[in-house]
Amino acid sequence: MTQPHRDRPSPVCGPGCACAVGNEFGERAARRDLAAWRRKGPPRTTAWLIEGLTAGGVAGLTVLDIGAGIGAVHRSLLAEGAASALDVDGSPAYVAVARSEAAGAGLADRVSYAVGDFVELAPSIDDADLVVLDRVVCCYPDMEALVRLSIARTRRRYGLVYPRDAAWIRAGSRVLNLFMRLARQRTRSWVHRTADVEAIIRAAGFVPQVQRSTLFWQVAVYDREPAT
């Protein structure tokens, strides 16, 4: 069995660090999300993402879950037979909840954690068979760095959930960001162009296997193209 990653130290996030916004997602939010998961299960898009990632089986594979939140996606993959997972998240509170839930599920020895900005941590993170970004691209200003560095860590399959590229969603995001700015929150919503995201992933040698959407979100799962 592949050995799980050890917990890694991460840089301290200051006001100019992208993962500093993780400090706004504290214990109350983490507990709220956990309660919602226990009450209703995964959101539809997360269920689609897990379904796409597990297609064909995941036994013995490693997982890199970026912006893992309460850790529900990688716990689902581990339950399907994945060997180990690394949870990377900018919020210490969410990592604490994810760690507790993994321990309660008997998975403590199969999950390791890194608190911080994935883009900054990327040089110290190993490749994984499955790489996951569930509603993470919409929280990060530098989409190109996030997607390039995460796809570069992917050996087999790459899955993400992010906003659809629509004019009304862009307009709504601008209004939401205005309210966040007035409330002195550092969190921002980002609607990146689908074509730009796809171009980076395809250039890395991956082809789409799953593409589904709701009114607001889109789910995409890519496999590495077989060598010819």
* Domains in the chain with CATH codes: 18-165+192-224 (3.40.50.150)
pLDDT, tens digit, 9 for 90 and up, residues 182-197: 877 666 777 889 999 9
Full-model pTM: 0.86
One DSSP character per residue, the chain reads: -PPPPPP---PPP-TTSGGGGGGGS-HHHHHHHHHHHHHH-S-HHHHHHHHHHHTT--TT-EEEEET-TTSHHHHHHHHTT--EEEEEES-HHHHHHHHHHHHHTT-GGGEEEEES-HHHHGGG---EEEEEEES-GGG-S-HHHHHHHHHTTEEEEEEEEEE---HHHHHHHHHHHHHHHHTT---------HHHHHHHHHHTTEEEEEEEE-SSEEEEEEEEPPP-
| Predicted confidence band of residue 52 (pLDDT cuts 50, 70, 90) | very high
Q: How many CA atoms lie within 13 A of 181 on its CB side?
A: 7
pLDDT, tens digit, 9 for 90 and up, residues 65-102: 999 999 999 999 999 999 999 999 999 999 999 999 99
More confident residue, 11 or 206: 206
Say how far apart CA 121 and CA 9 lie, in whole Å: 9
Q: How many CA atoms lie within 13 A of 198 on its CB side?
A: 13
What is residue 228's predicted lDDT score, i.e. its pLDDT? Answer: 65
Note the maximum CA span of the chain. 54
Residue 210 makes CB contacts below 8 A (sequence gap 6+) with: 48, 51, 52, 55, 159, 219, 220, 221
Structure tokens at 222: 């890519």
Structure tokens at 24: 């706004």
Q: Is the Cα torsion angle 13, 18, 24, 30 positive or negative in sign?
A: negative
Count other Cβ atoms within 10 Å, centred on residue 40.
8
Q: Which of 6-15, 116-125, 205-214 has the lowest mean pLDDT?
A: 6-15
More confident residue, 178 or 61: 61
Per the DSSP assignment, residues forming a β-bridge with 128 are: 154
With beta carbons less than 8 A apart as the criterion, state whether 224 and 201 touch.
no
Does residue 2 carry a pLDDT above 60?
no
With beta carbons less than 8 A apart as the criterion, state whether 62 and 82 touch.
yes
Does residue 171 carry a pLDDT above 90?
no
